[in-house]
Amino acid sequence: MKPLRVALMQLSAGTDVDRNLAKVDELLGEVSDVDLVALPEVFSARGKHDDYVNSAEPIPGPATEHLSSIARRLDAWILAGSIIEESAEGIYNTSVLLDRTGAIAAQYRKIHLFEAVLDNGQVIKETDTYKAGDQPVLADIEGWKCGMSICYDLRFPEMYRHYALQDAHLLFVPANFTQRTGRDHWETLVRARAIENQCFVVAPDQCGTNPSTGVVSHGHSMVVGPWGEILCCAGDAERVITVELDPKEIAATRARIPVIEHRKLL
């Protein structure tokens, strides 16, 4: 494997799909010489239940077509963090990976759907909007084996161990973590998934306030190395940060402490 140069986008999306896609174009305006661009969950439309129903689209569809043109322009892979997918079975929260030609290389439907009661009593229940996926997806980016996931999946370590046992090198966690849970858990969980599986973790997050719900997203998009070190972090505002991932770090970490080899089933 060659080193992978990653551009991580932190976005504050609203309900207007065209405006959100224009913001993606704007943020990527000065990006060049990258191998992968990673976008957060619900990058093309962030709102409430009705907004998601109204913005749902098939895959392939308008959002993937828009990103395909970006992939070709940048000659880079694109992780479409998640698109609200309209299908015959219902609506899914789906992550899509596009290759350098803009073709769909892999897609993953979110398995674990978020449910929580916020401090103000507001209930968030994704099962009211989405159907749950049922298949983990291990994608390949030019030799890099990449485990796909979305946001709330981060709290279920067995999913990432499944990928690690298939020799994953990189774990994707595009997210829309709330500020409250993000402040207490985001960094800890992202670093834990990297440490226990000795993989890079690429975790682009939403920031700012959801205009339909008033819920603030945490931001602090980050890339973490296989030793658990934070390689870059975006803070609170919209921005793109870049980092180069060296595959030699995976081998060095696994040689130092061969966790997978030592694993025993209890």
- Active-site residues, by number, are 41, 110, 151
Q: How large is the C-alpha radius of gyration of the chain? A: 17
DSSP 99-115: -TTS-EEEEEE--SPPE
Please tell me whether residue 217 adopts helix, strand or coil conformation: strand
The gap between the terminal CA atoms of the chain, to the nearest Å, is 34
CA distance 253 to 156: 23
CA distance 72 to 100: 6
Judge contact between 222 and 189, C-beta under 8 A. Answer: no
- Nearest Cα to Cα of residue 226 among 184, 164, 133: 164
CA distance 28 to 107: 22
Edge-to-edge strand list for the sheet holding 144-148: 137-141, 144-148, 170-172, 200-203, 222-224, 230-233
